[in-house]
């Protein structure tokens, strides 16, 4: 076996072409799922202070963004709703309204931009007046009644044309219920992307501002989202979701949980996604705006780290700007 001084690993780092030639992982626009916020009130575009560069969009502006993303080679987009306070209730009834904001947005995108995939989040938190992902009785988040409702919401969104439904609530048994609901309604081709390993994280702050739940949220989500200290149970959540019928699984947040992504990919070899959540994006933007870090560079490095960890794709608020940069670089 050769060793230094015959073997010199720096030989293969000498030039740009050499570094490109031996790169083990690559980032392309096809790795990105654009994360968007749609709003049912106000002007077409409204800045979100804690999420610089991201705006709450009207359906019209969302369709324009969908076209933009499709033109850049981004395969899919995920939609999150900012619902007017007057439509938020204890029972989240608006979540199941077939004429609601999300199904209308899905229909509009599918009509105008048929070749972008549409991912819809299935959870109740944008629609509850307490900001939780489940129905409540007193202080308790009710599992089974929530699951029943999620299955209905999933079917309604598939009826509207969603290609992928993504339950993000962390109730037990919801993947099986959603799959059953979809199949019974004839939506056998609609895929499920499960937020299988979702942690009770401080990194969701800006998202809760964006969809207007941060003021309302009572308590925290630790009785359903996972403890950041744990990895064994993350593998168990993924295993159960796959058994229940998930086509793809997701880890959320992303960068603080690269070990979880890597373990899941190694164990199950299934399509595995990461959600680069609002707080990850916002802290990079903030450091960039302060001149402390080179934003473009660290965003690329962060996204590449997901690929290296084994991800098949990344949900990110930065999808459009990153795809533009990749295009300019000839990727």
Determine, following the binding rule CB under 6 A, whether residue 204 of this chain makes contact with ligand PBG.
Answer: yes
A 10 A CB-CB count for 123 gives 25
252 is catalytic: yes
For ligand PBG, give the closer residue by CB, 204 or 295.
204
Instruction: Identify which range of 67-75, 138-146, 202-210, 303-311 contacts ligand PBG by CB under 6 A.
Output: 202-210
**Separation between Cα atoms, residue 282 and residue 207, nearest integer Å:** 10
Give the SS3 label for residue 248: strand
| Residue among 71, 91, 92 at smallest CA distance from 81 | 92
110 is catalytic: no
For ligand PBG, give the closer residue by CB, 22 or 215.
215
| Residue among 243, 242, 240, 262 at smallest CA distance from 251 | 262
Give the SS3 label for residue 316: strand
Determine, following the binding rule CB under 6 A, whether residue 207 of this chain makes contact with ligand PBG.
Answer: yes
What's the closest the beta carbon of residue 82 comes to ligand PBG, in angstroms?
Answer: 12
**Would you give the binding string for ligand PBG spanning residues 141-180, x where CB under 6 A is met?**
---------------------------xx-----------
**Burial category of 6 from C-beta neighbours within 10 Å (exposed 0-12, middle 13-18, buried 19 and up):** exposed
What's the closest the beta carbon of residue 72 comes to ligand PBG, in angstroms?
Answer: 21
- Structure-token pair, residue 282: 């916002």
Query: 23 Cβ partners below 8 Å, 6+ apart?
Result: none
Pick the catalytic residue: 99, 110, 152, 198?
Answer: 198
For ligand PBG, give the closer residue by CB, 208 or 285.
208
**Separation between Cα atoms, residue 284 and residue 292, nearest integer Å:** 10
Chain residues 248-277 in contact with ligand PBG, contact rule CB under 6 A: 277
Determine, following the binding rule CB under 6 A, whether residue 125 of this chain makes contact with ligand PBG.
Answer: yes
Helices then strands (H, E): number in the chain? 11, 12
DSSP assignment letter at 70: H
Residue nearest to ligand PBG (CB): 207
Selected binder of ligand PBG within 92, 95, 116, 123 (CB under 6 A): 123
What's the closest the beta carbon of residue 165 comes to ligand PBG, in angstroms?
Answer: 13
What's the closest the beta carbon of residue 300 comes to ligand PBG, in angstroms?
Answer: 19
Determine, following the binding rule CB under 6 A, whether residue 278 of this chain makes contact with ligand PBG.
Answer: yes
| Residue among 31, 117, 75, 35 at smallest CA distance from 303 | 31
Query: 320 Cβ partners below 8 Å, 6+ apart?
Result: 34, 65, 68, 69, 72, 74
What's the closest the beta carbon of residue 236 comes to ligand PBG, in angstroms?
Answer: 20
Catalytic residues: 198, 252
Interacting residue ranges for ligand PBG, rule: CB under 6 A: 121, 123, 125, 133, 168-169, 204, 207-208, 221, 277-278
């Amino acid at each position: 076996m050769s060793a230094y001084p015959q073997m010199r690993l720096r030989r293969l780092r000498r030039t740009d072409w050499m570094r490109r030639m031996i790169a083990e992982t690559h980032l392309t626009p096809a790795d990105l799922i654009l994360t968007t916020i749609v709003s049912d009130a106000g002007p077409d575009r409204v800045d979100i202070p804690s999420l610089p560069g991201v705006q709450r969009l009207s359906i019209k502006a969302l369709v324009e963004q969908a076209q933009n993303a499709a033109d850049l080679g981004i395969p899919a987009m995920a939609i999150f709703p900012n619902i007017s306070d007057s439509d938020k209730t204890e029972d989240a009834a608006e979540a199941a309204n077939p004429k609601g904001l999300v199904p209308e947005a899905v229909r509009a995108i599918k009509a105008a931009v048929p070749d972008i995939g549409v991912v819809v989040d299935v959870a109740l938190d944008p629609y509850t007046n307490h900001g939780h992902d489940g129905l409540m009785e007193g202080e308790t988040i009710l599992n089974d009644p929530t699951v029943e409702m999620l299955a209905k919401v999933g079917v309604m969104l598939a009826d509207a044309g969603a290609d992928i439904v993504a339950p993000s609530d962390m109730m037990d048994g919801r993947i099986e219920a959603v799959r059953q609901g979809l199949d019974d309604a004839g939506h056998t081709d609609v895929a499920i992307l499960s937020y299988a390993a979702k942690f009770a994280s401080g990194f969701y702050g800006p998202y809760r501002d964006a969809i207007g739940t941060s003021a309302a949220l009572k308590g925290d989500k630790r009785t359903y989202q996972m403890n950041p200290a744990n990895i064994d149970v993350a593998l168990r959540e993924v295993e159960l979701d796959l058994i229940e019928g998930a086509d793809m699984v997701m880890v959320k947040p992303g960068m603080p949980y690269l070990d979880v992504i890597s373990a899941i990919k190694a164990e199950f070899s299934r399509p595995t996604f990461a959600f680069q959540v609002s707080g990850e994006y916002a802290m990079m933007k903030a450091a960039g705006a302060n001149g402390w870090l080179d934003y473009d560079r660290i965003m690329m490095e962060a996204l590449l780290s997901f690929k290296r960890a084994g991800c098949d794709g990344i949900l990110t608020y930065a999808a459009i700007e990153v795809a533009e940069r990749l295009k300019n670089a000839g990727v």
